[in-house]
Amino acid sequence: MSQHKTWGGRFSGETDNRVEAFTESISFDRRLYRHDILASQAHARMLAEVGLLVQEETDQIVAALGDIAGRIERGEFEYSIQLEDIHTHVERALIDQLGDVGRKLHTGRSRNDQIVTDVKLWTRDALDDITGKLLDLQNALVDMADRSRDVILPGYTHLQRAQPVLAAHYLLAYVEKTQRDRDRLSDTRRRINVLPLGAAALAGTSLPINRDSVARQLGFDSVAANSLDVSSDRDFLIEFVFDLSLIALHLAGWAEEWILWSTTEFNFLELPDAFCTGSSIMPHKKNPDVLELIRGKSARVVGDLQRLLVLIKGLPLAYNRDLQEDKEALFDAVDTVSLSLELAAGLIRTTKFRRDVIAARLEDGYLDATTFMEFLVKEGVPLRSAHEAVGKLVKECEERQCRLADLPKESFEAIRAGLAAKVHQVLGVKNALAAFQSYGSTAPAEVERQMAFWRERLERR
């Protein structure tokens, strides 16, 4: 009865159906069908090149695999847990169609090198897709920076008002983070793009296969050098999910910021209706659910990473069935980050700064205090003395409930004679902002330079 299984030969009893349900992977690895078929077509072409198949057989196999892909895409393909996984389904369908010719496809390979090849091909596509979405996010950020050139924001540390920053500078900070996310992905891609197929079960094969041909056909840069290593290797996948985790965490931090900024208390942002939802009981509510879920779903991705790390703990060489458990975590992390990125870009494209609200409160919180201190340093006051003097002025402001610029002349003259006449060049948030000059700072000219840099950089993708 186990005869319909590809490995049925050495079995005489039937498989317990709980075992079939427990060991199947078709319910989730069917997502790999396209890559499984591409890899099989490349393998079949190679088998003809080395004389293990005749060309006519390869042609039949390649065509029949194309038919099977079409049936799967049209939803005309039947799945059953008795056939375990995607590899067995495709091979069974091929044998049903071609008989003995179909029975030759699995020559010189194993499902162990086949699955990791499929997963690498799938992951490579997913990685390229995520990279495109990161680029789109960067463009959305640069566009918003462009639209908000005139906006000055309070910059925070410890979520306390610290120093003024241009909104464009704030947005470009996320462009930088996103660029590192992209760089990490392209580095990971190099390790993905090494062909596993040909490792066979674990030791390679005694048949005269040509792995370089398969690598070339499938666009791999090189061929894995050790069959034991590669059939057990999931490092590339864990690394990719780590990259995704960091993307998810970058998005979560940004989402948290925008959730705060859209509260009545901050009121810096006007979120678009299309990305908000209401309350079933409170008629006035407009909730930032998308941002909250971008923040919340980052937990899934970090969980997926944890799951994969624990999965490989203590696994001996080479293939172990445990590895089948890698795919759902991978798919979940990709799906989650992919949607989060799309929605983040959508939100950034349609959200507006509430310029009036931001400007009305910009003079609160002594955003000019540090630049004023630096002005004193330029006037020859030692930094520590300047720090203390400005600290005292702030205390005086707290008592008088005023801004630094509103203090009486005597307060400045007490620090150094002649100062009162000059302070008005540097006090006030606009003056403070204009005073910045270091590389990488929020100095308007620096930010303009960075904007131009990113425009040009992102053109090149």
Point out which residues bind ligand ARG (CB under 6 A): 25, 29, 85, 111-112, 115, 321, 323-324
What whole-number distance in Å separates Cα of residue 94 and Cα of residue 40?
11
State the virtual CA torsion across 333, 242, 128, 90 in degrees, nearest 10: -60
Take residue 95 and report the two structure tokens written for it: 């044998």
CB of 25 to ligand ARG, least distance (A): 4
- Distance in Å, CB of 324 to ligand ARG, minimum: 4
Query: What is the nearest approach in angstroms of ligand ARG to the Cβ of residue 112?
Result: 5
Listing DSSP states for 178-239 in one string gives HHHHHHHHHHHHHHH-EE-TT-TTTT--SS---HHHHHHHHT-SEE-S-HHHHHH--HHHHH
Are 430 and 152 in contact by the 8 Å Cβ rule? The answer is: yes
The answer to whether 305 and 239 are in contact (CB under 8 A) is: no
Closer residue to ligand ARG, CB minimum distance, 94 or 116 = 116
Neighbours of 65 (CB within 10 A): 25
Q: Are 435 and 371 in contact (CB under 8 A)?
A: yes
Closer residue to ligand ARG in complex, CB, 152/323:
323
Asked about 279 being catalytic, the answer comes back as yes
Please identify, using beta-carbon distances, which residue of 36 and 243 lies nearer to ligand ARG: 36
Q: Which of 27, 80, 279, 424 is catalytic?
A: 279
Please give the single-letter amino acid code of residue 413.
Answer: E
158 counts as catalytic: yes
- State how beta strands 352-353 and 194-195 pair: unpaired
Which residue, 270 or 325, is less far from ligand ARG as judged by CB?
325
Closest residue to bound ligand ARG by CB: 324
Closest contact distance (angstroms) between CB of 233 and ligand ARG is: 12
Beta carbon nearer to ligand ARG, 112 or 336: 112
Catalytic residue of the set 158, 206, 280, 284: 158
Task: Compare residues 9 and 208 and give the one whose CB is closer to ligand ARG.
Answer: 9
Cα of first residue to Cα of last residue in the chain, in angstroms, is 56
DSSP state letters, 339-400: HHHHHHHHHHHH-EE-HHHHHHTTTTT-TTHHHHHHHHHHTT--HHHHHHHHHHHHHHHHHH
- Min CB(323)–ligand ARG separation in Å: 5
Closest approach, Cβ 110 to ligand ARG, in A, equals 7
Any idea which residues carry the catalytic annotation? 158, 279
